Amino acid sequence: MHNFAHQLKLLQGSSEFFPALIQALNDAKEEVRLETYIFDFHEDSLLVAEALERAALRGVSVKLIMDGVGTPSIPLEWEDRWRKANIAYKIFDPVGPRALWYPTRWRRLHRKLCVVDQKIGFCGGINILDDHFDPHRQTKMPHARLDFALEVTGPCAHAMWVEMRQMWVRMSWIDGLRKSELLTNLKSLQEHAKIKRKTYPNYVNCHLVLRDNVLNRQSIASAYLNAINAAKDEVIIASAFFLPQSRLIKALILAAKRGVKVTLVLQGHYEFALPYRAARRLYGVLLQAGISIVEYKLSYLHAKVAFVDSHWCTVGSSNLDPLSLLLAREANLVVKDFEINQELKSRLKIAIASGGSNVDPAHFKNRGSVERFGDQVSYWLMKLAIFVSGKHY
């Protein structure tokens, strides 16, 4: 059986991701499938909406899934335009933003995937949201979010397509799809699953790792754990939300103790106070082990990436927190490609130099009692919320 290498391109922020995505949409001949947590309709996000419309108008099959919390609805103008263009779209679990107050509704569709003509795929942490636009304040920001995606050509793109089609069929079944059509789709999916089982293990430099609540509950966490445990020289992790399982914390500490240089790039300019303060409750034990913690303060940190020893990296949608590791549907690409790994490392180093602030162990240890109390309360509130959701962490 043949091994397959992939063509890979690292994309930073919407300024690089959107043009690459739009070019692929403009070149689409048969089909576009897109999944995103947020589909926004401000600034450059509109360019993606227009590219989808153009593709559909020239006869390309366009299927789009958005999450019901990230995108509870779309503007009436675009609802009408997409309907006229014959774009098919679905809202995953359409419960609205208030669902975030109910931990039992935290099982979100958080992955960001796109596949065009089953040949070219995109996977990462970037929503269809202009990285200079702040949806919380409805204003433009001077500095872009820090985020990444990968463009991939090769078998992984087809793997992504299979998973996305499965999601569409499941949601169609829930929506009441005709039985005959459902059975036809399921038969086709079974055939593609056979192909997937035969070819996935032979991917050379890239493979798709999913997290869901059925067959892939611990897959992304295990990928991180295996890479950290095998690390010999350096680990850099950038995670927008950071509250990992104890086994991952232990792995990071053990890596630092055996001489691995471990750097965590975490939020400094934060969107939500509770997860930010909960993460800071872990700083003490990590700093004591010799782990460097950098808070990124130039803008919002939205990245979910990691670099290990020049031979392993991951780019995707999964944070290292309970929502991603226990509840949400996530998708990451794990890459073993020297050039991509070095480019990711270089861009993270630039981000640290331009917008990072090192957490000083002595200063953090002597922080005030009010800060300590806030960190403790936030941490236990997060733990309680996960327990209420039915998960143990």
Hey, which residues are catalytic here?
A: 110, 112, 117, 302, 304, 309
| Residues contacting 140, CB < 8 A, separation 6+ | 43, 132, 133, 134
- Across 218-252, b (16+ Cβ under 10 Å) vs e yields ebbbebbbebbeebeeebbbbbbbbbbbeebbbbb
| Residues contacting 353, CB < 8 A, separation 6+ | none
Q: Which amino acid is at 54?
A: R
CA atoms within a 13 Å half-sphere pointing along the CA-CB vector of 37: 24
C-alpha distances (whole Å) from 342 to each of 39, 122, 204, 338 are 31, 20, 18, 6
Q: Where are the alpha helices (DSSP H) in 175-334?
A: 179-199, 219-230, 246-257, 273-280, 283-288, 322
Give the whole-angstrom CA distance, residue 238 versus residue 181. 43
- Across 10-22, b (16+ Cβ under 10 Å) vs e yields bbbbbebbbeebb
Closest CA to 133 of 351, 338, 321, 299: 299
Q: How many of the other CB atoms lie within 10 Å of CB of 261?
A: 14
C-alpha distances (whole Å) from 154 to each of 124, 263, 299 are 16, 32, 34
Tokens encoding 93: 């679990």
- Look at the alpha carbons of 160, 161, 165, 166 in this order and tell me if their dihedral is positive or negative: negative
Give the whole-angstrom CA distance, residue 376 versus residue 393. 16
